[in-house]
Structures are given as C-alpha cells and as structure tokens.
Amino acid sequence: MPHATNGRTATLHRRELVARMLAERGDMLVISGLGNPSWDLAAAGDNDLNFYDLGAMGSAAALGLGLALAQPSRRVLVITGDGELLMGIGTLATITGPRPKNLAIAVLDNEAYGETGLQPTHTAHGVDLAAIALASGFPIAQTARDEAEFTAALPLLRNAPGPVLVVLKIVAEKLKIVSPPRDAAYVKSRFRKALLGMP
C-alpha cells in the first residue's frame, strides 16, 4: 500500500533542490550516488570537487564516510537516492561508529527506482529512512516534504555537527540526463589535484 507521502503527492523538484544545496557550496566536497542524483549534480554545475559514483549501487554513503574521515576539516555532502541508500542501508550503522561531524547525507526520495522505470522502492511502502538514521545513532536526521521544511534543512546539511541525514521527498519525474564526465579515473585524479595538489 502506498505511503501517504509518496512521489505523487510530493511538491519538491530534485534539480532545483540540488542546485540550491550547492549554490553556496564554499569548499564543500560532494559525492553523488548513481543515476539521477549524479545527473542532478552535473546539472547544478560540474566541479573539480565532485565525485560521481556512477556504479557500485549502495556505495555512495560509504564513499562519503571514507572522504569525511580523510578530510575532517571539510564538509562532505553525499547526495543520493532512496533506492541507492537502501541497497547499502547498513552503512548508516557503520557511519555511527566513527560519527564524523563533517558528513551530511541528502537523500532525494522519490519513492521509486528512477533509472529503471520508476518502480516503487521500499519508502513507497512506508520505510522511513530518517527514522532508521536516528535509530542508528545519527544526531540529526529528518524529512523535508515542502519548501519550508527544505529551507529549514539546508543549514543542517551545510553546517550542523553530524553525521546528518535529510530525506527530501521529491516528485517522481523523469528528467533529461545531464551526464557528468563518466571516466571515473579522470574525475578521481581531478578531485585529488584540486583538493591535495596531486593526482
């Protein structure tokens, strides 16, 4: 049975949210999960300090964890989808071992697998990702369903001592693919050059 907040009743649009999350990114390091979140990130503007995790479904949060541990003075933002996070849901437990304060996860939750034809994910049946994060020990985890809640969540994603997880309930919509560079070795070396001065 569909959940009350499913994609059909949501009002927030993913491309706009991602663009606004990154409008004042400063020196933030950004990881995106496979599929639409990576197209959204590319649409907001390719950047040397983006890494697009275009495969290995379920790995974006763990990738962000490793980066956050290596760069404790930089904000690390992981932007991923509900299906991608669900595939590696145990990582929320793993994150609360080291509990990096600089790690934030934004989940673009359209309650559907966007890349494969919008089949419903578990969140469409009521699985509450923010509640799982809270129960796993995240100090801050909440769900934004409208403009006011998104505006309130923005500073949490950017600055609040984490780990932070914000679920953004978005309209399930099929948008034009905006592809980032798909050569991961190039993107990795570019990222390291920009961050560390060496590829």
Partner 1 sequence: MIETRAAAAEKRAETIHEILRGNEVTIVAHVPDGGHAALIARCEHDPAMQTVVLTTEEEGVALAAGAWLGGLRAVLLIQSSGVGNIINALSLTDSGKFPLLMIVTMRGEWGEQMAWQVPMGRATRSVLEAMGVMVYEAERDEDVAEIMEAGASLAFGSGLAVAVLISQRILGTKKFD
**Helix axes of 14-21 and 147-159: crossing angle, nearest 10 degrees:** 40
Least Å distance between CB 24 and partner 1?
Answer: 22
Nearest CA-CA partner of 164 in 109, 108, 104, 107: 104
Cα gap 158→190, rounded to integer Å: 23
Q: Is 63 in the site for partner 1 (CB under 8 A)?
A: yes
Residues 5-34 that bind partner 1 (CB under 8 A): 29, 31
Cα gap 113→124, rounded to integer Å: 11
Q: Is 85 in the site for partner 1 (CB under 8 A)?
A: no
| Tokens encoding 80 | 């991923």
- Find tokens 């690390």 and name the residue: 76
Least Å distance between CB 163 and partner 1?
Answer: 13
Nearer to partner 1, 13 or 99 (CB): 99
| Tokens encoding 104 | 């934030």
Tell which one of 37, 81, 83, 88 touches partner 1 (CB under 8 A): 88
Burial of 1 (0-12, 13-18, 19+ CB in 10 A): exposed
Is there a contact between 49 and 27 (Cβ–Cβ < 8 Å)?
Answer: yes
Tell which one of 26, 55, 117, 155 touches partner 1 (CB under 8 A): 55
Nearer to partner 1, 155 or 197 (CB): 197
Nearer to partner 1, 131 or 196 (CB): 196
Q: Is 126 in the site for partner 1 (CB under 8 A)?
A: no
Q: Is 54 in the site for partner 1 (CB under 8 A)?
A: yes
- Find tokens 């989940």 and name the residue: 107
Tell which one of 18, 22, 30, 62 touches partner 1 (CB under 8 A): 62
The number of residues in the chain equals 199
The window from 19-27, 62-70, 112-120, 159-167 that contacts partner 1 (CB under 8 A) reads 62-70
Chain residues binding partner 1 by CB under 8 A are 29, 31, 51, 53-60, 62-71, 88, 90-91, 93-94, 97-98, 184-185, 187-188, 191-192, 195-196
